[in-house]
Amino acid sequence: MPCIMRKHLITSALPYINGVKHIGNLVGSMLPADVYARFLRQNSGEVLFICGTDEHGTPAEIAAEEAGKDVREYCDEMYETQKSIYEKFGLSFDYFGRSSAGSNKEITNEIFLALWNNGYIIEKSIRQYYSIDDGRFLPDRYLEGTCPVCKYSRARGDQCDGCGALLNPEELIDPVSAISKSKNIELRETKHLFLDLSKIEGKVDEWVSLHDKWPDVVKGIAKKWINEGLKSRCITRDLKWGINVSLYEYSDKVFYVWFDAPNAYIGITKDWSESVGRPEEWKEWWTPCDEKKVSYTQFMAKDNVPFHAIFWPAMLFAANLGFKQVDYIKGFNWLTYDKGKFSTSQKRGIFTDSALKMFDPDYWRYYLIANCPEGDDSDFSFSHFASIINKDLCDVLGNFATRVLALLEKHFDSAIAVDLREKGNIDEHLLKNVCKHVDEIEENLDSMRFRKAASSMRAFWALGNEYISEKKPWNEVKQNKCASAVCLAHCVHLLRAFAITAHPVIPFSCRNILKILNDVGGEKNIDRLSFDEAKNFQYFKPDHKVGAPQRLFEKIEDDRVKELTLEFDGRC
């Protein structure tokens, strides 16, 4: 588990460019990475959060063909579309780049030439499917067929989305062209380049064994690859769109998307470095003099784990260029939809653009983190979504805020009427409980236990409702107005503490809470308010004015649930 260090490098798996992503893709990498990045910025100093679109390979070509556009034009448009959606979800990337940028081309060719010179690249003549109707060789993702392992009927030539098995094209049962669906295909001989993973297997095995704190899903997948023995893997493709191989005799081929895409983490960091006017700073993150000064954490769904835990580390070790290796891989299982799998290619599930039209982004952020598929797959339904939002955000957090603000407005002209800095005014028992809850939330976020973090936040909000219900300031104000004022002053500070600690998960709502509390400095700097500050119950001075009562969240009614369930019944 990453400990507190001076620098925290965070990367999320790069979303494919082929269309708007679904919410399963969001919770499987980008959203939890954002929550972690926001938490670290509040508490641990320097953070660099990198992501971008994965634009090469078959998915981009096929999507462009379906859209009737040139592949570059298609990628340009989809990059802006995806970038805009992620901004609306509050994903706080320090830089959101592209794998098609020149920086990735430079880094990928630098790594390839190092592998070539170090003797890790071999040439092989292989048999590859050729589509007579399409008049071209079919790289692995241009093939579809039945998986030989699980019998999933829409497996691709490199990987099965049904069971996650990595495949070779000739292993598919009843393969067809993904372009034309033609069965008029045949195996022909062609020459390609391979990365000889067997030569670096011992180093990778030793390295994986050192990371016994990785999640079980990550360790299990990595060890499975190691135990089965690392084999040479083809790193070139017969495509027009991609990074061309920097060897003359192979210049008509491009690199396999999984050979160039991970390198884009480095390339995008280089682009960030140039964008902030410090063109050499990327090296401090990727080639640090003291590697321990940078803690590098990756976020991804389990189908991406083999490439991040084995394939890319093997590339970096074999290239021996001094690039930083990952310290911790946070792998996730899948969020399913209506007991089936989300699919971008099959347009099945709730997609991020539609999600934003339905509900506030914080609704999605909270629900997805509260039901994060960490230990097992999680299933999405609108009834479950509404239940969580209504119970947690509306009935617990929102209800507490409304009660406090309404009582302050009614009895104290929306102002704090007592000085908690005076001796004896602080409720020490409450403060002790607050410290306990804040520490628990902090521990869960630091350990990347996202479901537990959401649960501990809800428990913290429940403490506020228990406190105000126990003190009954609406009754107390009649006999002892000072005691009522003391209670409500504590409640205002509780609201501030809720905003600080929940900010990584529901940033828009938390900033709004501080705005309502008229905490101008806190609202402006909430990204840097440490969790220790949530324990400060002497922040607001007497006579400090807060805003009028308002609903932070609106309940999702049963009729709306039924409507959406029918609209998105699994055939979208």
Whether 556 maps to a domain, the answer reads no
289 is annotated as contributing to ligand binding: no
Total number of domains in the chain: 3
| Whether 128 and 244 share a structural domain | yes
Tokens of 196: 């000889």
Whether 543 maps to a domain, the answer reads no
| Whether 132 and 193 share a structural domain | yes
Whether 564 maps to a domain, the answer reads no
Task: Check whether 138 has a pLDDT greater than 90.
Answer: no
372 is annotated as contributing to ligand binding: no
Using a pLDDT cut of 90, give the percent of the chain over it: 81
- pLDDT tens, position by position, 403-462: 999 999 999 999 999 999 888 899 999 999 999 999 999 999 999 999 999 999 999 999
| Whether 372 and 418 share a structural domain | no
How many Å apart are CA 227 and CA 156, to the nearest integer?
24
Lowest mean pLDDT among 11-20, 431-440, 471-480: 471-480
* Reported confidence tier of residue 395, pLDDT bands at 50, 70, 90: very high
| Whether 402 and 303 share a structural domain | no
SS3 of 442-505:
HHHHHCCCHHHHHHHHHHHHHHHHHHHHHHCHHHHHHHCHHHHHHHHHHHHHHHHHHHHHHCCC
Q: What's the mean pLDDT when you consider all of the chain?
A: 93
Whether 542 maps to a domain, the answer reads no
| Whether 180 and 227 share a structural domain | yes
Whether 469 maps to a domain, the answer reads yes
492: left (phi over 0), alpha (psi -120 to 50) or beta: alpha
The pLDDT, as a whole number, for residue 3 is 40
288 vs 52 pLDDT, higher one: 52
- pLDDT tens, position by position, 512-567: 999 999 999 999 999 999 999 999 999 999 999 999 999 999 999 999 999 998 88
482 is annotated as contributing to ligand binding: no
510 is annotated as contributing to ligand binding: no
Whether 442 maps to a domain, the answer reads yes
> Within 10 A of 93 (CB to CB), how many other CB atoms are there?
23
pTM for this model (two decimals): 0.92
| Whether 387 and 519 share a structural domain | yes
| Whether 436 and 352 share a structural domain | no
| Interstrand relation of 185-195 and 121-131 (parallel, antiparallel or unpaired) | antiparallel
Cβ distance 157 to 142 under 8 Å?
yes
Domain boundary, last residue among 359, 380, 401: 380
CATH number at residue 208: 2.170.220.10
Tell me which residue has tokens 């070790």: 317
| Whether 213 and 129 share a structural domain | yes
234 is annotated as contributing to ligand binding: no
| Whether 305 and 222 share a structural domain | no
Which domain range does residue 476 map to? 382-535
The pLDDT, as a whole number, for residue 289 is 82
CATH number at residue 405: 1.10.730.10
Lowest mean pLDDT among 2-11, 227-236, 347-356, 419-428: 2-11
- pLDDT tens, position by position, 173-232: 999 998 788 999 998 888 999 999 999 999 999 999 999 999 999 999 999 999 999 999
| Whether 209 and 331 share a structural domain | no
